[in-house]
Amino acid sequence: MGFSLIASAAILAVTLFMAVEIITGSLLPTLDGINTSYGNLKNRFTDQIQTDINITTVSRSTGGLNYDYNITVQNTGSVTLNTEQFAVLVNGVEYPASCSCTHLYPENIAYFSVTNIAGEGAIRIKIISDNGIADYYTYNP
């Protein structure tokens, strides 16, 4: 009876040790990943709070039957923005835009050009920055 008690205790101890090893081996990297993602979320949230853009002017030129729009955007926040990731919407439709620079530094101006836009009358322009902050502008010719 003594040997079976010692053997069963050893089997339970080895099983418990293996269970703890498996749990900690998978749980610790998961907790580390969660901690890293919360840090990234905090950094993104801080960048969004410190980001502000302003469409200062919009001009239109005729390109055949359609129009070309030149949009001036100023970075009034304190975060450097990547203009290659900006989205330009005209009346709710995203159009490809070219920009005068690749980065929009704080208190600087970037010039966006959107070409071959059909339509007459007032248009609504929306510029969305790389971290989701946007500004609207209504152009009445």
What are the residue ranges spanned by the domains of the chain?
1-49, 52-139
Q: Which CATH architecture best describes the domain 52-139?
A: Sandwich (2.60)
Sorting pLDDT into bands at 50, 70 and 90, what band is 31?
Answer: confident
Residues 6+ apart with CB under 8 A from 55: 71, 72, 73, 125, 127, 135, 136, 137
How much is the pTM? 0.74
- Per-residue pLDDT at 111 exceeds 90: yes
What does the pLDDT average to over 57-80?
Answer: 89
- Per-residue pLDDT at 64 exceeds 80: no
How many angstroms separate the Cα of 33 from the Cα of each of 5, 23, 41? 42, 16, 12
Sorting pLDDT into bands at 50, 70 and 90, what band is 22?
Answer: confident
- Per-residue pLDDT at 1 exceeds 60: no
Is residue 84 within 8 A of residue 97, CB to CB? The reply is no
Sorting pLDDT into bands at 50, 70 and 90, what band is 2?
Answer: low
Tell me what pLDDT residue 112 has. Answer: 96
